[in-house]
Every structure is written in C-alpha cells, then in structure tokens.
Amino acid sequence: MDLTFSPQETAFRDELRAWLAANAPAPEPSDGGEDAHYAWRRDWQRRLYDAGWAAPAWPTEYGGRGASLTESAIYFEEIGRARVPMAANVLGLLLGGPTLMVWGTPEQKERYLPPILSGEEIWCQGFSEPDAGSDLASLKTRAVKDGDDWVVTGQKVWTSGAQYSKWCMLVARSDSEAAKHKGLTYFLMDMEQDAVQVRPLRQITGEAEFNELFIEEARIPDANIVGGVGNGWKVALTTLMNERAGLGFALQIRLRQLLDDLIAKAAERGMLERYGDALAELHVRCESIRLLAWKGLTDVERYGQPGPEGSLVKWLWSDTNQRLTQLAVDIVGAEALTSGESWSYELLRARGNTIEGGTTEVLKNIIAERVLGLPRLKVAA
Amino acid sequence: MDFGFTDDQRDIQRTARDLLSERAKPERVREHAESGRSDSELWRELCELGWPGIAVSEEYGGQGLGRIELSILCEELGRSLAPVPFLASVLAATVIEHSASEAARERWLPGIASGETLGALGVAVDGTAELVVGGAEAQVIVLVEDDGTGRVLAAEEAEVEKIASIDPTRTAARVSAGDGGEALDGDVAAGVDRALVAVSSELVGVCDRALEMTVAYVKERKQFGVPVGAYQAVSHRCAQMLLETEKARSTAAFAAWTADADPERLAEAAAMAKAAASDAGREVTASAIQAHGGIGFTWEADVHWLYKRAQLDAVLLGGAGSQRARLAGILADRVRASAAA
Ligand SMILES: Cc1cc2nc3c(=O)[nH]c(=O)nc-3n(C[C@H](O)[C@H](O)[C@H](O)COP(=O)(O)OP(=O)(O)OC[C@H]3O[C@@H](n4cnc5c(N)ncnc54)[C@H](O)[C@@H]3O)c2cc1C
C-alpha cells in the first residue's frame, strides 16, 4: 500500500493546478439567465480545449492526453478544487465520446469526436422516459424502419442541456416483438429538426436544469446507429458506466468544500462544540468517500474490473450531501431557508442526489444481488 | 384514558377538512405560492367562521375553545398548505394572551380573533429575529428571547425587512425590535409552549398528507411490472413514515391536552412534541420525495411544497436539537429533585 502519487502523477497535478491558477474562467455571469450561463460554460470549454485540458482521459489519437485512470481522477479533483464550472459539453465529453470509442465505426469517430472535444457540437442524453426510470429497459419510444431512415416517436425526460444540443444519445425500441432488453437500438438523433420539441422541466429549486423531449416522427439515418440494430442496451450500459467514473471525483471535492464552509460557519457562530459530533461524523464520511473512490481505481487498475466501490461511493455521497445540507439549516440559520441563497439551493438540490443516476433503493438492490450474491426477487419481465 | 375527540371536536375536524379540500386544492395553493400572494378570499371565509379566534378567550372576542381545538385546525391547515396567515397569527395571540399586559391584550386580541389584525411570533437574539414566518404582513409582532423575556410591538415600531423563504405559501421577514413596543411581563414560557404545540400540530398535518400522497402514488406507479409499493425498500419506507407521523401526532395530542388539563407538565410535553414533530416533518417529507422518484423532484408534483413547509416549521421557535436540550435539562432537574427528596 502506498497512498501517495507517483512523481509522474504529481507532475500531472502540478501542471494542471498551475494552468488552472493562471487561466481562471471569467466570473460567472450574474444576469442573462441560463443562456448567459451556458455561453459562459461554452467559453470555458473552449479555453480548456485550446490548452488540451478538455478531456485528458481521451486517447491522444482523439485529441486527449491519454491520461491514466489516476490522472483522470486527479483531473476531476483539481477541477472541483479550483471551483471552475463543468465544461459545457460535459455529457459529450464523459459519456458520448467514450461510448463512440467503444462502439462507433471509424467514420462515426472521425465525424463526431472532434466537435465534442471543441464544444462546437453539444450532446444530450435521451434515456429516461416518464414511465421508464428505474426500469429503463422498459422504455417505449418507438423507432420504425423507413428506407434508409428510422422514424422515431416518443417522449424522453430529464434531458439536461437539450435546448443547446446538436446530438442526442437516444435509446429507442426498434423491435417491439423482441424481449425487453433485446429490442433496443442506440441512435444519434439530430436535435435540429421540428419533429423534436424541447420543453423545460422545472424542479424543486424553481430552476429548469432539465427538459422533456417530445419526439414526433423524427428521422434518423441508418448511419447514426451506434453498435448495431438491437444492441442498444449494451451500448447504453457503456454510457451509464461512464456516468459515475470521473464526475464522482469532482463531486467528492465539492462535498469537502461544502463541509469546510459549514465548519467555518459553525466556528464563526460559536457552534463548533454543540455540533462537533455531527460535523466530525460528516468529516469521516467525506474521507471515506474519497478513500473508497481511490480504492475503486486500484481495483480497476490491478484486476481490470471495477469492484463495488462505485455504487457504495454514490450511495454514501448522496446520503452525506443530504445530511450535510440539512445540518446547515441548524447551523447557518435563516440563510439556509431563504430562497436564492446558496445553502437553501444546496438543501433542495441535494434531494435529487438519491434519485438521479439510479435511486439509492436500486443501488442497494445492485449491491445485494451482484456484489453479495443474494437471491433476486422474481418479478414479471 | 380516552384519546378520542368529543363530538364537537370531530365536527370541527370534519368541517375543516371538507372546506379545505374544496377551497385549498393543490392547484390553488400552487397558484398563490407562485405569485407570492396569500389567499385573501379563503382567509376571509376562515375569519367568518371564527378560526383565528378559536383559542382566544371570549372576553377578547374569541371562541374560548381549547388547545385541542386549535391543534385540529392547525393540522388540517398543515395538510392542505393553505396559503393563509393563520399559524403566525395564532402563535402571536397565544403569547400575547399569556404574557402581555392587559392593555396590550385589549389592544391586539380582538383584532387577531376576528382576523382583521395579523400577528407573528419570532425568536430573537439580542432583539433581532432572522426569520419570522408571517412577519412581512403582520400588524403586531411578538419577539421572544431565549432567556424568557420578550416584547410585543406594532409593526411600525419594528424594523421589518421582507425576505423570500423557500416556502412561498406564506410571508417571512427579518425583524428587529430595538426598544419599540412593550416588554412582556407575564408567563412568556407558558405562551411559547402553547405556540410550540400549534406548530407541532401543523407539522403532523404536513406529515399526514405527505404519507397519504405517497401511499397513493406507490400503489399506482409501476416499474419492472409491479407497483413500486410492493418493493420492501419502498413499503418499509412508508411504514417508517407512519411511525414518525404517529410519534409526532401522539406527542402533539398529549401536549395539547396538558396545556388545558395539566399545565404543570406542559413544558416537557411541548418540548417533546416539537422535537418529535420537527424530526418527523423533515424525514417524512424527504421520504415522500424519494418514494416518488424523479417526479417527486419536479415542481409540478407538489410534494416539494410539503417539504418546504416542513423545513420552516421544523426550525420555527426552536428545532429538535434545542427542544431535546431543553428536555435534558428538565429531566436532570427531575432527577436532582427526587434525589434531594
Ligand atoms: C435530478 C435528476 C437528474 C436526472 N438526470 C437524468 C439524466 O441525466 N439522464 C437520464 O436518463 N435520467 C435522469 N434522471 C432520471 C433518473 O435516472 C430517474 O428518475 C431514476 O432512475 C428513478 O426513476 P423514476 O423517476 O422513474 O422513479 P421510479 O423508478 O418510479 O421510482 C419510484 C420509487 O420506487 C423505487 N423503486 C423502483 N424500482 C425499485 C426496485 N426494483 N426496488 C426497490 N425500489 C424501487 C425507487 O427507488 C423510488 O423510490 C434524473 C433524475 C433526477 C431527479
């Protein structure tokens, strides 16, 4: 066991840290709404891209740095630590690109990867539907073959960034006769067509971070199928596996920062003693999350496959963020319940953490069944 | 021992529930919350029925009924989240009646009882209360401090700064008293304890509604071909919500009863009720969101209004932590007294 970085990893971190210090993004726009905010994140991606920092984990042949898993984790920790925004095309960089690298044809890689990296073409994710959340494979959006095209009709939900996107990673049912997981196909759908309508989805915080997609006979050419007809579930799993990998490291740092802010508040208000036990417990959890996340990388590096850490980290992180933001109401006081303040935003937003990316209940099922090998409840397919 | 309501109390409950399910439908609550207005039409109707004065004595123009009757109304209003200034006003009335001078009682209580005057109650530190529910529209504000002192002031005597809380079904303000108004010289604690019971009862209503909505939803919502309520992760969560709600309900009922029948035990009962109800409010409404899945996180689903109401009520007049600290003190005193005896 050696819980330090190698000289090469340290050099990677120092280079990035120095670059971030010298290239801080413009200040976050205070007005202009979501469009201005998005433009700001797009500019930021451009700056990362120009310096070769948009996606260091991508292989060099696709414009990345071929960073190791550890370096990639360092990258997200540093991005979190520097409190810079996520690149505008985060879904393209983290999900779309890596999925194409596994399943895409040479033509698809050549066509789609460069504009993902530069942020010229934004990507969104069309997986969840109103009736297909935890049971994603039961999705009903239909794709019907018509000449060299597919005609797609259905509804998607929780598509963040849809209003800015050029491409949607869309999973649709291309064969209604086949078994649930077998009748799905993974498409790249052009969002710039009238058949696709985007409606903002307002959430508990009052803002609309997400959208609903209404798709009425959208056309998608054969050439935009990823991984072959009927293979959509496997391709979608590749996308979902990438979902947690990198971002977790940035979220873990964000949690740490929130805890440090809260501890400072408690000190300022003379409440360190009264809430000492609860704060210390949060500290233990934060550290466990960090250590488990790193331990998960060791599993992959040594044994070639991820252990249970990914699910454990997501579970512990979401629960801890909810506890932390709730404790903040007791420590920070009114500010944490005043709308528009950052503590109240964090409190409300944290409610989504145990739902998004797989609910805690479903994560526990996965841990029980796949990690512990417990018997599975038989339910109708 | 009989936990049941009298026929009159049952009537009050039934009337309140029928009226509110008709007049405070979720769409209407949402509409008012979104525009940040209280429902003046509904408020007028409640005033005509004498609700704001239900527990104010008859000599000050109220109905002179007990704390149990008041708790019944608080619970029903909590269930519906009706955007009316009821709770804030009755909290102020309670403390004024128990601890303000005769002149102040005569000045304020008849107006509060009829609903023409709105009141609000806040806990202040060195004269300033950071978040007073109902403070922005109240004409009379009562501020109490941890040391058992307090002041009653006309709004114009205080510094009132309107703030937008996360619960827009009612107003809120930051209030500073300065030297305005008059000091409370009676039994402030007795008033505040009764106020705690009213808040606890509202929380019971919020929990009850959250549980009802959740149970209905998880019976209907199917994933993997079965209603999600069939999964024990979900059904046990619902069972836990019931446990929390009933803990809060039974302690709130006990506290409301002691307020009228056994005031010696009120301090302990009120602290217990508020501790249980504050915890229940947070947990039950958070669980409601979780059991609804993604839809529970959306604005349209309406579960979030319950969560937000519970978050404010949970800290109102002191959260679970401070109530437990007070309880620990009461218990320690009791042990010491019996050792000395
Ligand atoms: C903030 C947020 C962001 C999101 N972002 C995205 C996104 O970017 N892309 C995307 O595709 N989707 C996204 N989603 C959707 C998310 O993946 C789903 O909401 C989630 O998988 C749950 O599905 P559901 O909403 O249909 O809830 P349901 O599946 O209906 O769940 C309802 C309740 O039942 C429980 N439950 C369901 N099945 C089981 C079971 N087998 N065992 C035990 N309990 C069960 C759940 O845990 C939950 O408590 C997002 C959701 C949120 C809230």
Question: DSSP letters of A254-297?
Answer: HHHHHHHHHHHHHHHTT-TTTTHHHHHHHHHHHHHHHHHHHHHH
Average per-residue pLDDT for chain B? 97
CA distance B109 to B57: 9
Structure tokens at A78: 């540093």
Question: Does an H or E element contain B142, and which?
Answer: strand B140-145
For the entire predicted model, the pTM comes to 0.97
The fold adopted by the segment(s) A247-371 is Butyryl-CoA Dehydrogenase, subunit A; domain 3 (1.20.140)
B129 and B264, same domain (yes or no): no
| Per-residue confidence (pLDDT) for residue A256, from 0 to 100 | 96
Of A276, A15, A236, A21, the C-alpha closest to A141 is A236
Structural contact between residues A86 and A253, judged by C-beta atoms closer than 8 angstroms: no
B11 and B134, same domain (yes or no): yes
Q: Is the confidence at residue A4, as pLDDT, over 60?
A: yes
A-chain CB neighbours of B173 within 8 Å are none
For residue B200, tell me if it sits in a domain: yes
For residue B94, tell me if it sits in a domain: yes
Residue type, A83: R
Atom 53 of ligand 1 has which residue's CA nearest to it? B294
Q: Which of A329, A339, A379 sits opposite B164 (nearest CB)?
A: A339
The CA A237 to ligand 1 mean position distance, Å, reads 16
Pairing of strands A123-126, A167-173: parallel
Average per-residue pLDDT for chain A? 94
Helices first, then strands: H and E counts in chain B? 11, 9
The domain of B281 spans 188-340
B41 and B167, same domain (yes or no): yes
A-chain CB neighbours of B297 within 8 Å are 203-204, 351-352, 355
CA distance B44 to B35: 19
Least CA distance to B174: which residue of chain A?
A: A334
For residue B2, tell me if it sits in a domain: no
| Per-residue confidence (pLDDT) for residue A244, from 0 to 100 | 67
Q: In the structure, what pLDDT confidence band is assigned to residue B250 with cuts at 50, 70 and 90? A: very high
CA distance B271 to A306: 49
B174 and B197, same domain (yes or no): no
B179 and B193, same domain (yes or no): no
Interface contacts (A, B; CB < 8 Å): 103
Q: Compute and round to an integer the Cα radius of gyration of chain A.
A: 21
Average pLDDT of the residues in A48-53: 96
Q: Which of A204, A354, A356 sits opposite B304 (nearest CB)?
A: A204
Of A202, A141, A132, A203, the C-alpha closest to A173 is A141
Q: Minimal Cα–Cα distance from A378 to chain B, Å? A: 10
CA distance A76 to A89: 15
Q: Is the confidence at residue A380, as pLDDT, over 60?
A: no
For residue B1, tell me if it sits in a domain: no
Structural contact between residues B152 and B186, judged by C-beta atoms closer than 8 angstroms: no
Q: What are B296-314's pLDDT values in tens digits?
A: 999 999 999 999 999 999 9
Helix residue ranges per DSSP H, B84-160: 86-99, 102-114
For residue B90, tell me if it sits in a domain: yes
Q: What are A309-329's pLDDT values in tens digits?
A: 888 999 999 999 999 999 999
B97 and B198, same domain (yes or no): no
Q: What is the CATH number of the domain that holds B275?
A: 1.20.140.10
What is the atom index within ligand 1 of the atom nearest the CA of B232?
43
Average pLDDT of the residues in B238-253: 98
Average pLDDT of the residues in A217-244: 93
CA distance A330 to B318: 10
Among residues B149, B183, B217, the one where a domain terminates is: B183
Report whether CATH 2.40.110.10 matches the domain A123-230. Answer: yes
Share of chain B above pLDDT 70, in %: 100
Among residues B183, B198, B225, the one where a domain terminates is: B183
Q: What is the CATH number of the domain that holds B88?
A: 1.10.540.10
B165 vs A351: CB contact, 8 Å cut-off?
no
Q: What ranges do the domains of chain A cover?
A: 7-88, 123-230, 247-371
Domain count, chain B: 2
Structure tokens at A184: 């799905």
Q: Is the confidence at residue A247, as pLDDT, over 90?
A: no
B139 and B157, same domain (yes or no): yes
B198 and B307, same domain (yes or no): yes
B165 and B54, same domain (yes or no): yes
CA dist B47 → B8, B50, B98, B113 (Å): 19, 5, 22, 8
Q: What are A6-15's pLDDT values in tens digits?
A: 999 999 999 9
Average pLDDT of the residues in B125-147: 96
**B298 Cβ contact list (under 8 Å, min separation 6):** A201, A202, A203, A204, B304
For ligand 1, is residue B234 a contact (CB within 6 Å)? Answer: yes
Q: What is the interface pTM, i.e. ipTM, of the complex?
A: 0.96
Among residues B121, B148, B183, the one where a domain terminates is: B183
Helices B266-292 and B320-340: crossing angle in degrees, nearest 10, is: 150
B202 and B157, same domain (yes or no): no
Question: What CATH architecture does domain A7-88 belong to?
Answer: Orthogonal Bundle (1.10)
B192 and B335, same domain (yes or no): yes
